[in-house]
Each structure stands twice: as structure tokens, then as C-alpha cells.
Amino acid sequence: MVAKPRAIYWFRTDLRLHDSPALQAALDLRPECLYPIWCWDPHYVYRARVGPNRWQFLLDCQSDLSASITKLNSKSKLFVIREAPQTVLPKLFKAWRISHLVFERDTDPYARDRDEKVLEMAKEAGVEVVMTRHGRTLYDPDDLVRENGGKPTMSMSQVQHVGAHFSKSSSNPLIYDK
């Protein structure tokens, strides 16, 4: 008999439940247990130049997300962890006997480097990684850059112009169907 998956769903920039492709991928595993986590990454905490209102908004979103999780399952909540993902995830893989790590791919340079390290650590720990391409953006950011001749789009009108050229088989916006 094959053991049921034990998964971590790593919330990052997409703090919602109702239409997250990555969260759906985690649920599709039909895990024995699913640990929803958020890591206070010191890189962002100490280097981000944001005001108190933005920090408060993030705290409020985390609180709302945790309450939403608890509303769906009274025995669960959002685990908010004050440690870099690169150091805490390997500890959690072992402590919680994790078989799967699920998250949405991020696009900024630091996040890409961090995620490569996390992927290596997961592989070393025997943890399968499920990383969805996009969910918090209308189009996959890499597809937009590629379609725009290798240059990033700098305005919404550029995004609309480039997005109009995508074929049905390429990166399409996510459609939320109630």
C-alpha cells in the first residue's frame, strides 16, 4: 500500500484560497495532511523599503488567510514561520515527514535563486516539488518577456498588446469559473 502524501503548501505572494492554482495542485494530491505555511524571509523583512501601512496590510492578510483556513478545517491554521525558507524547509521536511512541497513559481531574481536552493534541498530530502507556473498574474511573466522580444513590459498597455498575440496553446489568463 502506497503511503498518502504529506504536503507543505508554501504561501508566498498569493495569500488567497478561492482561486489559487498552486493550492489546487496541493489539494489534488489528496494528502494525508497539508501544512499551510508562510515564511518571514529575512531578505524581504530587512531589505524591503515599505511603510507601516503595507506591513499592516500583510499582517491583516495573513490573519484573514489563517481564519479562512480554520473556517474550512477547525484543526488547521496558517503556520507563520520567522526563518528563511532555505533553512527552515529542510527542518520541516524531516520533522513533519513531508513527501511533497507545493508553491507558485516566483519571478524576481532573489526568489528564483532562493527557489533553486529550495529545489536542491527538497531533492536531497526526497521531497517531490510541485511548482505551478503562475496564478497571481494574468499571464506568465516569462512568456510576456519572450513575446515582447526579450524585454519586460513596462505598462499595462504593453501587457495588453503582448497578451493579445498569445495563441490559444500558449500562456493564457486564468479563468475563474464559479
Alpha helices (runs of H) in 73-177, residue ranges in sequence order: 85-95, 109-125, 141-147, 156-163
Kindly report the pTM of this predicted structure: 0.82
The 3-state DSSP class for residue 37 equals strand
150 φψ region: left (φ > 0), alpha (ψ -120 to 50), beta (else): left
pLDDT (0 to 100) of residue 175: 37
pLDDT (0 to 100) of residue 172: 45
pLDDT (0 to 100) of residue 25: 92
Cα–Cα distance for residue pair 115/119, rounded to 1 Å: 6
pLDDT (0 to 100) of residue 176: 33
pLDDT (0 to 100) of residue 77: 97
Burial level of 3, CB count in 10 A (0-12/13-18/19+)? exposed
> What string of pLDDT tens digits covers the 178 residues of the chain?
668 999 999 999 888 898 888 999 999 999 999 999 999 999 988 887 888 999 999 999 999 999 999 999 999 999 999 999 999 999 999 999 999 999 998 888 899 999 999 999 999 999 999 988 767 677 777 888 888 899 988 888 888 888 887 754 454 444 333 3
